[in-house]
Amino acid sequence: MECENVFGEGIPFREGIPIQLLNYVENEKDRNEFGEIIFNEEALDIIRGIDGPVAIISVVGSYRRGKSWFANVLHGRHDGFMLGSTVDRCTQGIYMWSKPFDYQGKRMIVLDCEGIDDPKQNQQWATKLFVLCLAISSTFIYNLNGVVGKDDIGKLFLMTDLTKFIVPPPDYKFLPKLVVLLRDFMLKDPDDFKDYFLDRLNSVNEQATEGVKKYFSDFDVFGIPIPMADRNQLQKLDKLPTASLQPEFVTEVTHAVNNVLSTSTPKYIGSCTMTGVSFTKFLQDCVEKLNDTSIMQLSIPSEYDSVVEYVAQRSIKECVQMYTLNMNKKLNKDKERNDDSLHVDVFNWKAFNEIHMEIFSQVEKEFFKRIIGDSIQIRQYENELNNSINEQFEKFRKSNSEALYEYNMELAKKLWENNVKVRLSAENFFKDQEEFDDAIAIFEREVIDTLIEDCPETERVMAKIKSDEYQDAIATLKSIGILKNELAEQIKSVQESEQKYLEFSANEKETKFKMEKMQVEHEEIKRHLLNKIREKDENTEKQKITNIDVLERANYDREVALALLNSEKEKEIESLKDELKKIKQKKEVWVQIIQSFIPLLHTGLKFAASIYLGKIFH
């Protein structure tokens, strides 16, 4: 059950409860040896479910110095994370809030970390906890005694040389923004708290001071006075109302909290923001390495590579599933109807491609929203996605093509039976060739009006009819003497020629559809890629990256990614153009052959032949 001790002062109240993210389990054989860091899967699932950018605020430092209370105030409340009233630490491992909150377009995850200077702690665990929080945070709040004496700096001595513990990436910044809280500060406020902190730290550990300056070029320091003089009241700070605290304390805490929230940034991986999925993977990989006592350094580049690959493969898999699911819904929506009316789950190629492009665009948008990495990697992963989508597209296209063919064939056979086949029986034979010619002309005119247009399957159906039905009809009329041998052979040759023409015409249409599809897809991919590049450029500016080598590398990656996209498209288009040219050449041969037969035919067959060379198929 939640308590609700609101802090107020303009800091929004956040509902929820604390939930343990990870814990340290001691080595059962020797507690001085490193044990194991274990996760709470429930907490990981909460983080994974975050769709947008995440900002990670870790509150670290001395135990029994009010870390957990400050973490509560970041949520606009006094209560929440457990506060201790004894000399023992009360936070074990790392806790997070059960409901990460939205703030300026980011989901804020506040981590309340176990105190790291408890003499009862395993020192390897304390060091690894400090290193882990540095690696995973976008804002690192270090909470310590305002006096900043030798016994107060905790793990700040590790700043002497962080590379002993962390291998940094060669390009982008990865360390979080540092915020130092000087708790129970009872001296006169200095002109500049940052200078005061560095001066006090320098008097204790010069190397640590230089490390802070080196690794954190910009950081904030806040002096927080004591909450109140009554020590008994301090033991129940989570239960006290804000009005019972000293006004100066409330003012300084409010100022520090607002500063932390307003200056918080997303957790970046290179020039991309981390989402719940990518951060969870990064966190798990970091912990896996820290659990391995044979690994002395946490390699950020290696972890980044692992996260980029994981996110890419997960995104590809889920986006292909999204495409397949939505195509199934669109193409099979009529099957869900329960009435007795006729449902036709077939689409001409134009309608089919429009459905594909609608879903393709949605999938590409989702993919580019999720994907991380440099521009070249993103282009390569998108190409992998595109290949997988095309495999699914071909399955749907083939299924739709077969349905189109069967549907058109059924209609064509009915028309054939009504106009031609009915006159091929002994009871109702055509009287002469002219009647046969007229019946063929009427049949082919009705085919034009009835079969689904704008699809190669129509030509393939007619090619099949000419191959089978026409030849059977000619043989029947020849056998009963209505068609003379020479004329029968001429008509047969015309139908065979038209059959070949129709086959090439179908291939031509199919190739044109492929080319149009490819060109539209290319423009869609290019649009999303350019948007992603702009997003990455904006993130680079937000991180204040000024390293010339880094910026030039990003520009090179951008140019290569676009060049790869354009060259791949041009190569595929040229291949289709060559194929189309060959088809047209072969088709033209059969046009000329058919034209050579037309003067020899009767009126009805001349009309039928002209149809194929004119209205539909030319």
**Which ranges of the chain have pLDDT less than 50?**
1-2, 85-88, 337-344, 615-618
Quote the radius of gyration of the chain (alpha carbons, Å): 37
Largest CA distance in the chain: 122
* Dihedral sign for Cα atoms in the order 538, 563, 275, 49: positive
The total of other beta-carbon atoms located within 10 Å of residue 534's CB is 11
Q: State in Å, rounded, how far the first CA of the chain is from the last one.
A: 76
- The Cα 382–Cα 21 span in angstroms is 33
- The Cα 534–Cα 59 span in angstroms is 33
Pairing outcome for strands 94-97 and 101-103:
unpaired
pLDDT at position 568 is: 87
**CA proximity to 604, closest of 485, 443, 458, 459:** 443
- The Cα 430–Cα 420 span in angstroms is 9
Select 18-296's CATH number: 3.40.640.10, 3.40.630.10, 3.40.50.300, 1.10.3720.10.
3.40.50.300
Q: Which helix (H) or strand (E) holds 329?
A: helix 300-331
Backbone torsions φ then ψ of 494, nearest 5 degrees = -60, -45
pLDDT at position 569 is: 87
CATH number at 301-334+344-618? 1.20.1000
pLDDT at position 259 is: 97
Distance from chain centroid for Cα 231: 53
- The Cα 493–Cα 499 span in angstroms is 10
pTM of the model: 0.87
Say if residues 76 and 14 touch (Cβ distance below 8 Å). Answer: yes
- The Cα 56–Cα 94 span in angstroms is 12
- The Cα 363–Cα 361 span in angstroms is 5
The total of other beta-carbon atoms located within 10 Å of residue 324's CB is 18
Q: Tokens for 273?
A: 């923001």
Say if residues 115 and 25 touch (Cβ distance below 8 Å). Answer: no
| Residue 481, CA atoms < 13 Å, CB-side half-sphere | 0
Side chain identity at residue 363, one-letter code: V
Domain residues of the chain, as ranges? 18-296, 301-334+344-618
